[in-house]
Structure 1
Amino acid sequence: MPDIALSHARLPATTLVEVVDAFGDTREQAIAAERALTVYLNKREIVTLMSLGDDPEALVVGYLRNQGLLRSAEDLVAVQVDWDVEAAVVITRHLPADLEERLGTRTVTTGCGQGTVFGKLLDQTALTALPDTALAQSTLYALLNNLNSYNETYKSAGAVHGCALCQQAQVLDFVEDVGRHNAVDTLAGRQWLQEAESTSADIFYTTGRLTSEMVLKVAQMGISILVSRSGVTQKGVELAERFGVMLVARAKGKQFQAINAGQRLTLDAIPPRPPRARSSQHAMQLDKESAKDRLTAQEQTP
């Protein structure tokens, strides 16, 4: 390996966020980290990557290599990551002759399928204020039940994501695609083209993770409640708080984790708590007490 000045700026892949579960309990939940890292190649801004941040130098080098912006490891002089400014500076001995043709300012997200946002979309601040839509627990359960009859492609073939525009418990429009970003873009297009009666939608449902790009796209559609059967990322939570979006993650059956809900979530259908599994220590203590009681009973027997 050539002598390269590396920063070794590894960060934890998860972080903790406060959630309210189906029982109304507030607790901490581990979620995937999502961090922005803008890459500079010989002082030229190349791209902003969204990642966990647990191996940033390798991510940056691998991206530049696969984009054809690095010819070999021998060209590398330094890879320095500074999370305080969310930047990675890469110094090389040579640059490709067609660098200008290859470049375009863009953000590559953690999303599957399409998952690419061009331009400065994550910096956009001119969003219309979102409605303060409320959600009842019973309505959420009814919506999840109604959605079960819509994912036909997934049931028959798998390997797809589904997204839906909903008005409370009613499903207004549903789209499946190989990537969740393709599905959400299709729904947004249908709204503008008025191909669906979805202008009254106040809840967006997706089978995919609640990442920053998903939150941003839903906020741009004027919807303030985002529901998913999957988890949520750190940057997704940050943008949800910024734009006023309530996130409902891991929504399956009678379970869910609401984030940034405030007073908008009404817990009107709290399910019975499952019986707690006995810890091994507690079980051993009960066994000892039971054995002691049996011994005492035997001693008292004439």
Structure 2
Amino acid sequence: MGRRWGVVLTPENQEMEVGDMGDDVLEKKSVLLLQNGVLTESHVKLVREVPLTIYLDGQELVTLLCTGQYPEDLAVGFLRSEGILDNWAEVSSLRVDEKAGVVWVELREKRKLRQELLHKRTLGAGCGRASLYYQPLDGIQIKNVGPGPRLSPERIVDLMHKASVMGALYKEARTTHAAGLATPDQVVVFREDIGRHNAVDMIVGYAMRNNISLGDKILLTTGRASSEIVLKAARVGIPVVASRSAATALGVALAQSVGITLLGSVRGGKLTVYCHPERIVF
């Protein structure tokens, strides 16, 4: 796969795990650069954008546009955060054909999901997402998240800063979003992709496949805190969502309804608490 643009910290090995550079993630392109009125030839690094099609029980479910990294985690995370899977034990097999850009997921108990999902499919506003399988108002049907951690604004800002400096792919190409899964002490998993939804789904998929509890974690994202991101967090029980960007009105309403502490504009020593401030120790 070349370079795996992500970081994982585990209790057994607290050092960042980052692979070697590969040509399958970044491409070099010759361009003309106009700067201070002078036109010169230059080179830029471009992030690849490839389709990844997920098949569930032999039937085509969705095609995502992504970098192609971590296809197993992306597929499983998508299924989980869209409410199709509840836990990893439901999966009987998972196969990936990276050249073809296909992931096959087989469930132990087959489900008649296709027509139900297609009737509910809506076009999302996010990057790298071909389609989404929920209606925004579905958030009111989700159980409230658990109590979660309590942490200071300074810790939140520090965690976001730590996640920001992990963004190696963004530093190279400036075209990616990132997501991090954190405890109050450290960022434990970090992912980058062209789509903010994809980055979150990779986090969810990794946690699900590795039996990582999410009820005591913080979701960090560089993208806006929209209803889609809040719903993903709610479905997996993440109690705190923090974004470097701002939130949407529906994102705040959904977070309020399911008990999520939603934070925005976390940067430069500042943040905005949109709802459920009881987890923030001022």
State how far apart, in whole Å, the 1-side matches of 2:119 and 2:235 are: 23
Whether 2:155 is the aligned partner of 1:136: answer no
Determine which structure has more spread, i.e. the larger CA radius of gyration.
Answer: 1
Alpha-carbon contact 1:160-1:177 (below 8 Å) kept: yes
Deviation at 1:125, TM superposition (A): 4.7
State how far apart, in whole Å, the 2-side matches of 1:255 and 1:238 are: 22
Alpha-carbon contact 2:128-2:197 (below 8 Å) kept: yes
Amino acid at match of 2:128: G
2:255 to 233, 240, 263: 240
Secondary structure of the residue that 1:148 maps to in structure 2?
Answer: helix
Match of 1:75 in 2: none
Secondary structure of the residue that 1:117 maps to in structure 2?
Answer: coil
Deviation at 1:135, TM superposition (A): 2.3
Match of 2:191 in 1: 175
Deviation at 1:126, TM superposition (A): 4.8
State how far apart, in whole Å, the 2-side matches of 1:110 and 1:237 are: 16
Match of 2:178 in 1: 162
1:218 to 233, 237, 254: 233
Match of 1:114 in 2: 129
Mean CA deviation greater in 256-265 or 209-218: 256-265
Deviation at 1:190, TM superposition (A): 1.1
Consecutive unaligned residues of structure 2, counting only runs of 5 or more, are 1-114
State how far apart, in whole Å, the 2-side matches of 1:254 and 1:233 are: 21
Alpha-carbon contact 1:111-1:181 (below 8 Å) kept: yes
Alpha-carbon contact 2:215-2:238 (below 8 Å) kept: no
Q: Residues 216 and 148 (structure 1 numbering): CA distance in 2 closer, same or farther, change over 3 Å? A: same
User: Which deviations, in whole Å up to 9, do the C-alpha atoms of 1:173-208 show, x marking residues without a partner?
Assistant: 00100101111111111122118x565651000000
Deviation at 1:257, TM superposition (A): 0.7
Q: TM-score, normalised by structure 1?
A: 0.50
Amino acid at match of 1:109: G
1:43-82 pair list within 5 angstroms: none
State how far apart, in whole Å, the 2-side matches of 1:205 and 1:234 are: 19
Match of 1:252 in 2: 267
Q: Residues 121 and 194 (structure 1 numbering): CA distance in 2 closer, same or farther, change over 3 Å? A: farther
State how far apart, in whole Å, the 1-side matches of 2:134 and 2:244 are: 29
State how far apart, in whole Å, the 2-side matches of 1:266 and 1:113 are: 36
User: Which deviations, in whole Å up to 9, do the C-alpha atoms of 1:87-118 show, x marking residues without a partner?
Assistant: xxxxxxxxxxxxx9xx7431212212116322
User: Which deviations, in whole Å up to 9, do the C-alpha atoms of 1:101-151 show, x marking residues without a partner?
Assistant: xx7431212212116322557425553431223221221132123223311
- Count of residues in correspondence between the two structures: 165
Mean CA deviation greater in 118-127 or 128-137: 118-127
User: Which deviations, in whole Å up to 9, do the C-alpha atoms of 1:201-241 show, x marking residues without a partner?
Assistant: 51000000000010000111211110011011010011011
Secondary structure of the residue that 2:190 maps to in structure 1?
Answer: strand
Consecutive unaligned residues of structure 1, counting only runs of 5 or more, are 1-99, 268-302
Whether 2:142 is the aligned partner of 1:127: answer yes
